[in-house]
Amino acid sequence: MPNLRDIRKKIDAIKKIGQITRAMNMVASAKLRSIQGRLEGFRPYREKFEEVIFDLVGSGSINPQKVPLLQQREVRKVGIVLVTADRGLCGAFNSNLIKEAEKKIKTLEGEGKEVELICVGRKGFQYFAKRARVREAYTDVMGKVLMQDARKIARSAMRAFLSGEWDEAYIIYGYFINLIKQIPKVEKFLPLSLQKEEEGEEEKRAKVLSYIYEPEEEELLPQILPLYINTLVFAAMLETAVSEQAARMTAMDNANRACSDMVHDLTLLFNKTRQAAITKELMDIVGGAEAIKQG
């Protein structure tokens, strides 16, 4: 039979854990509202930027092989920018991103390609530090998500591509769908390729207005493409940061419910144990009284 004092200690400990999970849920909720507003404001900007880039590249007046960031070449070395959170306690969010990166690495290495990582976020770096070749790590940058950090990461990736250290580059991040669902997403971003149309995109592109560029496309493109890469990296960081807080809210809510269930079960056990102890004492008293009477 469990000891009443031990059960009471467990109940008190679980209640304290429940207080922590409720507090973390509230903090994640507050952070989510703040950064989700930034994401909702940035998504249309990225989409419009992509629309302009697509119109510029798809105009037919530019030879992609003459633009360094558009050059297609034989792929021998591949870079992956992995964006994870700096902190845990957000369910399987970081694990899913790491698994997606491992899957991509395994596929590329199976094709005989060398893979190098740029880790954005502490969790991804901690996992791959001794498991893969890490070129650079940017930790403690996912709390605020600043454009200046995105520029540093984008410049590092572009430098590796332009120098020939990478022939191709992918970015892996957490894409925010809603509070319940966040999915790992893999996008190829170097060399830039905006020719592939998704389902329904052709009609959408047909409605795009024709732009007049000043200066001409060949002069403008080398200046605007690095800005677009910055935008892609910053968008990936924002998406991951929002997904992290949403996943943490869900994880802490589940943990809080689990604490409540455990307290309920332990309270029942405590009451049953106490009742059994009282019953035993009463039986001892009654047995002793009967023994006295018979004596």
Do residues 102 and 117 lie in contact, with contact meaning Cβ atoms separated by under 8 Å? no
* pLDDT at residue 195, rounded to an integer: 57
Do residues 90 and 247 lie in contact, with contact meaning Cβ atoms separated by under 8 Å? yes
Which residues belong to the active site? 90
* pLDDT at residue 174, rounded to an integer: 97
Q: How far apart are CA 241 and CA 175, in angstroms?
A: 9
Determine the residue type at 250: T
Q: Is the pLDDT of residue 274 over 80?
A: yes
Average pLDDT (88-93) is 94
Q: How far apart are CA 260 and CA 281, in angstroms?
A: 31
284 membership: H or E segment, kind and range: helix 217-294
196 is a domain residue: yes
Angle between helices 217-294 and 147-162 (to 10 degrees): 120
* pLDDT at residue 67, rounded to an integer: 83
pLDDT tens profile 192-242: 875 544 445 554 544 455 667 777 777 788 889 999 999 999 999 999 999
252 is a domain residue: no
Q: Where do we find the tokens 């792929």?
A: 75
Residue 60 in 3-state DSSP?
Answer: coil
216 is a domain residue: yes
Q: Which tokens is 45 given? A: 């900007």
Average pLDDT (1-7) is 82
More confident residue, 273 or 127: 127
Domain span at residue 178 reads 61-247
More confident residue, 52 or 266: 266
pLDDT tens profile 107-161: 999 999 999 999 999 999 999 999 999 999 999 999 999 999 999 999 999 999 9
Q: Where do we find the tokens 């455990």?
A: 262
276 is a domain residue: no
Q: Phi and psi of 114, rounded to 5°?
A: -85, 140
Quick one: 259 exposed, middle or buried, by C-beta within 10 A (0-12, 13-18, 19+)?
Answer: buried
* pLDDT at residue 216, rounded to an integer: 74
The angle at the Cα of 95, spanning 89 to 101, to the nearest 5 degrees, equals 145
How far, in Å, are 52, 56, 213, 287 from residue 224 at the CA level? 10, 10, 12, 93
What's the CATH number where 193 sits? 3.40.1380.10
36 is a domain residue: no
In Å, how far from its chain's centre is CA 87? 10
140 is a domain residue: yes
Q: Which tokens is 235 given? A: 């968008």
Do residues 242 and 33 lie in contact, with contact meaning Cβ atoms separated by under 8 Å? no
Q: How far apart are CA 48 and CA 41, in angstroms?
A: 12
Q: How far apart are CA 206 and CA 224, in angstroms?
A: 23
As for how many domains the chain has, the answer is 1
* pLDDT at residue 3, rounded to an integer: 85
114 is a domain residue: yes
